[in-house]
Structure 1
Amino acid sequence: MMAETALTQSHQPAPKASAAILAGPIVPVMLRLALPTVAVLVIQTLVGVIETYFVSSLGANVLAGVSVVFPVLMLMQMMANGGIGSGLAAAIAQAYGAGRWQDMQALVWHGVVIAVVAGLACAIAIIIGGYTLYQMMGISGPALSAALAYSHIVFASSPLIWLVAMLSAALRGAGDTRTPAQITLVGAVILLPLSPVLIFGWGPIPSFGVAGAGMAIVVYYLVAALFLVIHMRSVKSVIKLSITPLCARSFRDILGVGLLASIGTVQLNLTVVIVTAAIGCFGADAVAGYGIASRLEYIQIPLLFGLGTAIMTMVGVNVGAGQMQRAQRITWFGAAIAFAVTTLIGFIVAAFPHIWLNIFSEEQQIVKIGTNYLQHIAPFYGFIAAGMALYFAAIGMKRVFWPVLAGTVRMIVAAFIGWIAVTYFTVSIEMLFNILVAGILIYCAITIAATFVIGRKSS
C-alpha cells in the first residue's frame, strides 16, 4: 500500500556511533571505514579467481561460456552496489546525520523492495534473453550450453544478490562497514570448499559440472542474505530492518541518486567495450597487450570503491547534520589520498611495466603493446582516482548529475572519438592512447569544477 504521508521527526543529535564521523580526525576515520570494504572486495576478487580456476579444469568450452556470463553478472553487481546501493547509502547517511531515525528504518525497507523488484527484473531478462545475448557475444555450441547452464542458476538468484547489496549499502550508509566485511568473509569460507565439491562431486554428492559453480554462488548469497537479515533484526545493529509503509518520497530519495549512479556504471563498462573494439583493429596481439595492461586498473577498484564509499558515508552524514564545510574538507582529503596513492602506483608501473606484464605473457609484441599502454596511461591513474573520489562525494551530497555527465564526456572522447579515429582515420595506437589520456583529463577537470561549484552553492 502506497502512503504519501511524510515521516516527520524532530532532528535529534546523532548517536555516539557517528561522533567520529562528525567530529573525529578525518583521515583516520576515513581509513577505518574504508579498510573493511577494501577487504571485502579483495576477498570477492580472490574467490572469483579461484572459482575460475576450478571451472577452467572442465575444458575450454565451459571456460568460454562462463567468461561471457561474467561481465553481465559484474554489470548487475555494479548497478546493485555502486548504483542503486549508493543511492540508498547516501540517503541513509544524510538521515543518520540529521537524526531522522524513522526515515532510516523506512529507507532500509524501501531498499529491500527495490532489491526484490530489480532482482526479479534482471532474472527474467537474462533467463529469457540470455541465449540471444551470449550468441551476440560470440559463442555457440557447447560453450553456449555451458553459459546458459551457469547463467540460469546464477541469475535465478538475482533477488538475493540485490538484497545483499542493498542491506550492505544500508549498513555502510550508517557507518557500519565491519558487518558486511565479516559476513562476506564467512560466505567466502563456505564458498571456497563448496564450489569444487559441487563442480566435481565428493562422496554422496554428485558432480554438477558448471551448474555446480552456479549453485555455489547461490548458496553464498543465500547465507550472506540470512546473516544480514538476522543481524539487522537484532539489537546489535546500528540500523534496523523492519516493515514500514511504502511512500514515494523514500523511493525518490534512493532512486533519484541511484539511477544516475547506475548510468555511471553502465558508462564505465560501455567505454571499456568500445575501446577494446577500437584496439581490436590493430590485431589480436594488441587486444591481448591492452587487456593485460588495463587489468591493473581493475585491481585498483577495491581500493577506490572502499575509499569512495567511506567518503560518501562521511560526506552524507555531515551534510545531514548541516556541517557543509566539514563535508567539503572530507571530499578534498579523500580526493587527495586517492590521487597520491594511485599516482605513485602509476609512476612505478610506467617505469617498470615488465614487472606486471611478464606475469601474464612474454610474447614480444604483446608486451610491447602493453608497455606502450602503461607508459601512456599509468602516469594519469591519479586523475581517474581523484575523479572517482569526487564522484562518491557527490553521491553523499546527492548532487551526482555533473560527475555522471563528466563520465559521459569521457566516454564520448575516449571511446567514440577514439573508435572513429582508428576506424575512419587510421590513426596509430599511440594516438589512440593519447585520446584516452585526453578523456581522463577532461573527466577529472569537469568533476573538480563541479565539486567547487557544488561546495560554493552549499556553503
Structure 2
Amino acid sequence: METPARQAKEDSPLPPTAQAAANKLLDGPVLHTLLSLAWPNAIAFSAGTLVAIAETSYIGQLGVESLAAMALVFPCVMLTMSVSGAAMGGGVSSAIARALGAGDRDRAESLATHALLIAVFFGLVFMLGMQMGGRQLLQLLGGRGDVLAQAIAYSEIYFGGAVLTWLVNILASILRGTGNMKLPSMMIVNSAICQTILGGTLGLGLGPVPQFGMPGVATGSLIAYSINIAIMAWYLFSGQSRIAPRLRGFRMQWPLFVDILKVGMVACLSPLQNTLTNLIFTHMLAVFGTAVLAAYGIGARLEYVLATIAFSVGIGSVPMIGVAVGAGRIPRARRVAWTTGLVALVVVGGLASAVALFPDPWVSLFTDNAEAHAASRQYLRTVAPFYAFIGLASAMYFSSQGAGNVLGPVLAQTARLLFIILGGWYLTSQAATAESFFMLTAASMILLGLLSCAAVALTRWGPRMTGAKGSLSLANAADK
C-alpha cells in the first residue's frame, strides 16, 4: 500500500525540481531559508546603489547642468523602477508563488505569460505618457533652460524604452516567484556593471566613441536592460526554470490578470505616496534654508541605503509566504512575516543607531560646510534611530504582497502621509523650529511601522484560488 507522501508526490502536477523547491520553502527553517533568499538580493541592491554613485560621478563630468538635469528626471526614473519592480513585480511573484504552493504548475505558467503582457502594456503606457507629457512634468518640477533641455533629451531615450524597463523587472519577478533569487540578483549586478561601462562610454565619449551626453547615459541603461532580458528570457523559455511562460495554446484569462493586479495595482500606491510624502516634507523644510534642506537630503540618502537592506529581506519573504498561503499553511506564513519584520527591525535599527551615535563619518561623505554639517548631525541624531520602523514597515509590505493582500500596509502609508500634512500644518502655524519637524518625521516612521504590523495582524490570510487537490496534496506531503 502506498504511503500518503508517495501518493501526494504522484498526484502533484509539479515536476520534481519545482516540488522540491516548493517543499523547501514550505518546510525549511524559517530564518535560515529567509536569509538564504535575502543575501543574493542584498548583494544585488548594493551593486545598484554603487552604480547610482558611479553614474552621478560621470554625469558630473558633463557639467553642473547635466547633474541638475539628472536630479530633475531621477524621481521619474525611480518611480518607474519602483512601480514595475517592487509594486507590480511583487504582485507577479505573489501570484506565481501561491499557484506553486497550491501545486498548480499550469496556473503558474499562465500567470507568467499574463505578467509579460502586463509588462508590455504598462511599458507602453509609461512610454506614451512621458512622450506626450514629459516636458510639462519636468517644467512643473522646476526645469528651465539647458537643464530642462538635457533632462528631456535623457527622458526621451530612457522612457522611449520603458517597455524594456518593465520587462526586465517583471521577468525578474517571475523568477523570484519560483524561489529563484540568485539569477535576478546576478542580473542586477550585471546591469550595474554594464550601465557603468556603457553609460560612461556613451555619455563621456571614451576612446573612439563620440560623446553623446545625457542621451548616451540613457542608452547605456537600455542596452544593459536588453542584455538582462535576453538572458532571463532564455532561462525561462529553455526549460531551465521551474516554470516556463505558456505560449502554445495560450488564451487570455481575466481572472489571472486580476490575481496579479489586485496586489500589484494597490501596491503601486505605496511608492506614489512615499514620493508625495518626501516632496511635501521637503517643501516644509525649505523655509529653514539650504543647510536644513541639505541635512534632510543627507538623511534621505541614508534611508535609501538602509531601505535596500529591508527590501532584500522583504522580497525574500514573498515566495515563502506565497507558497505557504497557497498550500494552506497560514501559521507558517505568519511566522515568516514576523520573522522578516524582526530581522529588518534589528538590522536596519542597529545600523541606523550606529550612525545616530557617530554621524560625522556619514555626513562628511557629502559636505564639509560647517552649517550643513551641524544641521545634518542634529537631523540624524533625532531621526536615524527610527529608520528601524521604516525597515519594519517595508517587511510588512512585502509580506502582505506574498499573502496576496497589501491594502493594509498601503493604508498605513496613507495614514503617515496625512500625519505629516496635518502635523506639518500645525507646526507651521506655531512657527516651530526645524528640530520639531525632525521629530515629526521620526514620529511618522513609528506610526507607519506600528500600523503596518497591525495591518498584517488583523488581515485574514488564506488561499484565494481553486486547485484544492494540488493544495492539499502538497500540504499533506510537506506535513508528513
Q: Shorter-normalised TM-score: what interval?
A: over 0.9
Q: Say whether the 8 Å CA contact 1:69–1:147 is kept in structure 2.
A: yes
Letter aligned with residue 427 of structure 1:
A
Q: Say whether the 8 Å CA contact 1:328–1:455 is kept in structure 2.
A: no
Aligned residue in 2 for 1:242: 246
Q: Say whether the 8 Å CA contact 2:326–2:462 is kept in structure 1.
A: no
Aligned residue in 1 for 2:467: none
Letter aligned with residue 369 of structure 1:
A
Aligned residue in 1 for 2:417: 411
> Of residues 325, 338, 346 in structure 2, which corresponds to 1:340?
346
- Answering whether residue 295 of structure 2 is matched by residue 275 of structure 1, we say no
Q: Say whether the 8 Å CA contact 2:359–2:380 is kept in structure 1.
A: yes
- Answering whether residue 118 of structure 2 is matched by residue 114 of structure 1, we say yes
In the TM superposition, what is the alpha-carbon distance from 1:242 to its structure 2 partner?
A: 3.0
TM-score (norm 2): 0.90
Tell me the matched-pair count. 448
Q: Say whether the 8 Å CA contact 1:338–1:389 is kept in structure 2.
A: yes
Choose 423-432 or 84-93, whichever is displaced more. 423-432
Aligned residue in 2 for 1:424: 429
**Aligned sequence identity (%):** 32
Aligned residue in 1 for 2:311: 305
Aligned residue in 2 for 1:355: 361
In the TM superposition, what is the alpha-carbon distance from 1:204 to its structure 2 partner?
A: 4.3
Letter aligned with residue 409 of structure 2:
P
Q: Say whether the 8 Å CA contact 1:275–1:418 is kept in structure 2.
A: no
Q: Say whether the 8 Å CA contact 1:88–1:111 is kept in structure 2.
A: yes
In the TM superposition, what is the alpha-carbon distance from 1:289 to its structure 2 partner?
A: 1.2
Choose 96-105 or 234-243, whichever is displaced more. 234-243
In the TM superposition, what is the alpha-carbon distance from 1:202 to its structure 2 partner?
A: 4.2
> Of residues 26, 31, 34 in structure 1, which corresponds to 2:30?
26
CA distance in 1 between partners of 2:201 and 2:339 (Å): 46
Letter aligned with residue 430 of structure 1:
E
Letter aligned with residue 361 of structure 2:
I
TM-score (norm 1): 0.94
Distance 1:203 1:371, change over 3 A: closer
CA distance in 1 between partners of 2:217 and 2:159 (Å): 13
RMSD of aligned residue pairs (Cα, Å)? 1.7
What are the superposed Cα offsets for residues 38-82 of structure 1, whole Å, 9 maximum, x if unpaired?
222211221222122111111111111121111110001100011
Q: What secondary structure is seen at the aligned counterpart in 1 of 2:366?
A: coil
CA distance in 2 between partners of 1:76 and 1:358 (Å): 31
Q: Say whether the 8 Å CA contact 2:92–2:115 is kept in structure 1.
A: yes
In the TM superposition, what is the alpha-carbon distance from 1:424 to its structure 2 partner?
A: 3.1
Aligned residue in 2 for 1:378: 384
Letter aligned with residue 43 of structure 1:
A
> Of residues 151, 156, 160 in structure 1, which corresponds to 2:155?
151
1:183-262 alignment runs, 5 A limit: 183-243=187-247, 244-262=250-268
CA distance in 1 between partners of 2:175 and 2:462 (Å): 29
- Answering whether residue 450 of structure 2 is matched by residue 452 of structure 1, we say no
Distance 1:263 1:11, change over 3 A: farther
Choose 381-390 or 247-256, whichever is displaced more. 381-390
> Of residues 52, 57, 60 in structure 1, which corresponds to 2:56?
52
Aligned residue in 2 for 1:87: 91
User: Runs ≥4 in structure 1, deviation > 6 angstroms?
Assistant: none
CA distance in 1 between partners of 2:388 and 2:59 (Å): 35
> Of residues 324, 329, 342 in structure 1, which corresponds to 2:330?
324
Q: What secondary structure is seen at the aligned counterpart in 1 of 2:211?
A: coil
CA distance in 2 between partners of 1:217 and 1:457 (Å): 40
Letter aligned with residue 232 of structure 2:
L
In the TM superposition, what is the alpha-carbon distance from 1:324 to its structure 2 partner?
A: 0.8
CA distance in 1 between partners of 2:459 and 2:109 (Å): 29
- Answering whether residue 321 of structure 2 is matched by residue 315 of structure 1, we say yes
CA distance in 2 between partners of 1:457 and 1:214 (Å): 43
In the TM superposition, what is the alpha-carbon distance from 1:18 to its structure 2 partner?
A: 2.0
Aligned residue in 2 for 1:141: 145
> Of residues 368, 393, 400 in structure 1, which corresponds to 2:399?
393
Quick one: higher RCO (CA 8 Å, sep 6+), 1 or 2?
2
Q: What secondary structure is seen at the aligned counterpart in 1 of 2:459?
A: helix
In the TM superposition, what is the alpha-carbon distance from 1:418 to its structure 2 partner?
A: 3.7
In the TM superposition, what is the alpha-carbon distance from 1:34 to its structure 2 partner?
A: 0.9
- Answering whether residue 441 of structure 2 is matched by residue 436 of structure 1, we say yes
In the TM superposition, what is the alpha-carbon distance from 1:205 to its structure 2 partner?
A: 2.9
Q: What secondary structure is seen at the aligned counterpart in 1 of 2:252?
A: coil
Choose 60-69 or 113-122, whichever is displaced more. 60-69
Q: Say whether the 8 Å CA contact 1:387–1:443 is kept in structure 2.
A: yes
In the TM superposition, what is the alpha-carbon distance from 1:326 to its structure 2 partner?
A: 0.8
CA distance in 2 between partners of 1:384 and 1:206 (Å): 44
Aligned residue in 2 for 1:129: 133
Q: What secondary structure is seen at the aligned counterpart in 2 of 1:41?
A: helix
Letter aligned with residue 442 of structure 2:
V
Q: Say whether the 8 Å CA contact 1:281–1:422 is kept in structure 2.
A: no
CA distance in 1 between partners of 2:359 and 2:117 (Å): 47
In the TM superposition, what is the alpha-carbon distance from 1:203 to its structure 2 partner?
A: 4.8
In the TM superposition, what is the alpha-carbon distance from 1:20 to its structure 2 partner?
A: 1.7
CA distance in 2 between partners of 1:279 and 1:438 (Å): 16
CA distance in 2 between partners of 1:149 and 1:247 (Å): 39
CA distance in 1 between partners of 2:455 and 2:190 (Å): 40
